[in-house]
Every structure is written in C-alpha cells, then in structure tokens.
Amino acid sequence: MVPADGLASWQLQSSGLNDGRWKKRAAQQTLHLSKRNSSPGHCGPKPSCGILTFDDDGWSAMSQLVYSDLRTHGLAHGSLHWFRDWPDPSVPTFGAGVYTIWDTDGRFIYVGMSGRGIKAGMEASNRRHGIITRLHSHASGRRSGDQFCVYVADRFVLSTLVAEDIAAIASGRHSLDVYVRRYIHQHLGYRFILCPDGAEAVDVERQIKRGDWSHGKPLLNPQA
C-alpha cells in the first residue's frame, strides 16, 4: 500500500541507520510487518507501535524502528493531487484503494474507498474499475449517485450562492453541479493508496472514519 522502499528509507533515516545495505532488507521486513499488523487488534489506533528486528548475510544488527501506522501513512503524507488536474495518470485504471480529501488549508475533509468486490490476485479487466471510477465521479461535481458531491454542495457551496445564482439554478439556466465542480477544482485535492483487495480497503476506510489515526475524523463523513 505504501511504497515500501520509500517508507523503509524514511524509517532508517529517523533511526540513524541510513545505510543503503539495509534499505532493501528493511523494505522487505516492513512489508512483512505491515501484513502481520494489518488486522484490528495488533496495533489498534496508536500512531506508533512496533519494533523491527532484522539481520543479513550472516551478521545481524538490531534497530528499534518505530513506525507510524503503515496502512495510512500514504493517506496522510503521500503526494497531494489536485482535482483541477484531473484526469490523473498516476491513478491506476484497476484496483481497490482508499483516498483522503484535503482542502487548500490542509483540513482533512473526507475519506472514501472503491473496489469493494476486488479480490487479491484478481486479473485486471479491460474496463476501468476501482478507485479511478470514484475519483472521476468526484472530479465531475455531479451530485447524482455521489454522496461526496452532495456533501460539498450542502456544506460548502450553498452558503456562497447569491440571489442571482439561486435564480439561475431555479430557472434551469445553470446547474448546481457546475458550482460544485468549480468548488472541488478550486479548493480540494486527494491522496490515495492501493490495497490488495476490497476487504482491506473497507477496513482502512472504517479505521479513518473512526478517527483512529493522527488526523482525527473527516469533516464530512465521520463515523459516530
């Protein structure tokens, strides 16, 4: 989910062991540890909770590598992509994943997932399926079938409309969706991770909705 080599490098630097000989090995162990701690109950909501021990080529070294929640690291610290730049070639056309949405002030706005029916090892289909379809829907600003766009309309857009805007929407000369799309493109961006299957994506989304990570609950869709 998180690029293992990059996270391993970050961990090594933070622990003072920035030795290239360890990067590959640490990355492998990080993936193993992430897999082992991916189910609820191993680490719970704590932002850091582990010790990584590794050895290589007949000699060993031990380092306490305190790691943040590996499943959500990229959703808080990964590259921020702006909806105004959609379509985004970095989003794969097939795959289950989770995404977080942020505004230009850095507020955590929303968390979502897509690809619920995708299983681990499933062969990619020719049609777009998974996280790309959900982000495409959000970028369009169309409220029909998109709860995020409904939230944006209700919480952010309606209060900005003046009498002329309301009259234009009521008469059919303009669509509220146009205003929603404009707001999304001007103010919002997203981070995303891929998951091995839809079940894990659902689990990560629920974790974040509960606020079980370093950025609390999302503004628009928190879990009570």
Neighbouring C-beta atoms of residue 218, cutoff 10 Å: 22
- pLDDT by position in tens, the chain (length 224): 434 333 333 333 333 334 444 334 434 444 443 333 333 322 333 333 333 333 444 323 332 223 336 789 999 999 999 999 999 999 999 999 999 999 999 999 999 999 999 999 898 888 999 999 999 999 999 999 999 999 999 999 999 999 999 999 999 999 999 999 999 999 999 999 999 999 999 999 999 999 999 999 999 999 98
- Calculate the dihedral angle through the C-alpha atoms of 103, 105, 107, 110, rounding to the nearest 10 degrees: 0
pLDDT attached to residue 69: 65
Amino acid at the residue 139: A
Residue 7 contacts by C-beta under 8 Å, 6 or more apart in sequence?
A: 27, 30, 67, 70, 73
Q: What residue segments make up the domains of the chain, in order of their start?
A: 4-62, 73-209
Residue 129 belongs to what H/E stretch?
strand 129-130
Q: What angle do CA 26, 31, 33 make, to 5 degrees?
A: 90
Q: Are 169 and 157 in contact (CB under 8 A)?
A: no
